[in-house]
Structures are given as structure tokens and as C-alpha cells.
Amino acid sequence: MDWRDKLRGFYAVLDRDDRMLAEDLLAAARVLQVRLKGAPRGDLLRVAGWARELTAARGALLVVNDDLEAALAVGADAVHLGQDDLPLADARAEIARRGASLLVGVSTHDLEQVRRAAAGGADYLGFGPVFGTTTKERPDPTVGVELLREAVRAAAPIPVVAIGGITPGRAAEVAAAGAHAACAIAAVNRAADIAAAGRAIAAALA
């Protein structure tokens, strides 16, 4: 299966040191991003290490958020960079210098950032927040579904993952806008049935 096929549907994010959560997420997703904001490097490496074992056993992609060194250290499939993280060009140069094979995803919040990341060689983009989100202390302004649709067109053929405020009930809207996948943290990770919530999003994007 191509990595783009694994990326499609529900894009899961592990936001805490919780193996059971990771297993529930992987019951619905074929991609898992480790995103431990503010965690010490040692904790990130430990969690990403066992997440690598889980994703490898399930044939899923492992993405490490923000930290290129950690992604390389655990043998992740991708690193995901925000606008304030290591620049895309620098990440590409370091990956090439190491002789590594690593996908690079980039978070984008407007069409100019989409075009710049696409031209810079990002493998996939996150775009949003499409709706209001509670998982960031200082979220970017919401972009809405129509701007998501424009971002998908501007990025093509690069896959776009819709991010921000997405719920199972809203997943069909981002699917109709052309998103390749949808990332949801609060609506899935805090759900009473995590796997069912993730599967509902995956089904909408199928």
C-alpha cells in the first residue's frame, strides 16, 4: 500500500503518553502522529519508540510532530513541521545529509503558505483550522470549508489533511471539499468510544 493510501481517511494524533489510546486510534487510522507538546525530549523519544513498534506491527505510518531529530532517531515515516518549526528547506537538507528517507508534512493556514510549502517540496499539507479548535492555546483564525476547497486545488496533487475543530459530524464537509484526510484530536481522543469516533471520520473520507 502506498503511503498516500495510508494517509487517507482519519489522521490520528497521539497527544499523551497512553499506549491504550494509541491502540484505539490505530483501530481507526493508518497514520499516527506523536504530538507531545512541551514534553522533554526523553519522553518524546520513549513514546515515539513504542509508537513505532505499534505502527510497524499494523502497517501504519508513524509521524513525529515538530522534532526532526526524534523522527530520525526512532525511524519514523514522516516529520510534521509547523510554520514556526524548522524550515522545510532546512529539514530537506538535513534528511538528505543523513541519507535518510523521511516524508515531510507542513501545517499551513492560508493559501500563500500552501503554495510556498507545495513549491518547497512538502509531501503532504495540513490545512486549517477549518473550524474552531480547543487543542491549541493560540489557534490561527478559522479558514472555513470554502478556503479548504481552494487550498486543495492550490496544493494538487499534494494530499491535504484538514485540521482544526473536525468532528465525525463535520467530516463529510471536509471530504466534499476534497481533503485527503481529516485530523481530529478532541472529538476522537476524548470520545467515550475512541475507535468508533475515528472510524466515523475515516468512513466519511473513504
Catalytic residue among 30, 35, 52, 199: 35
Catalytic residue among 16, 98, 136, 190: 136
Q: Answer yes or no: 92 catalytic.
A: no
Element (H, E) at 21: helix 19-26
Q: Where are the alpha helices (DSSP H) in the chain?
A: 3-7, 19-26, 41-58, 68-74, 88-98, 111-119, 144-155, 171-176, 186-189, 194-205
Q: Answer yes or no: 4 catalytic.
A: no
- Cα 42 to Cα 48, 87, 150, distances in angstroms: 10, 23, 40
Q: Answer yes or no: 101 catalytic.
A: no
Q: Which three cell numbers stand for residue 42?
A: 526523553
Q: Which three cell numbers stand for residue 85?
A: 518549526
Sequence letter at residue 53: E
63 vs 14: CA distance, rounded Å: 10
Catalytic residue among 6, 8, 52, 107: 107
Active centre residues (catalytic): 35, 107, 136
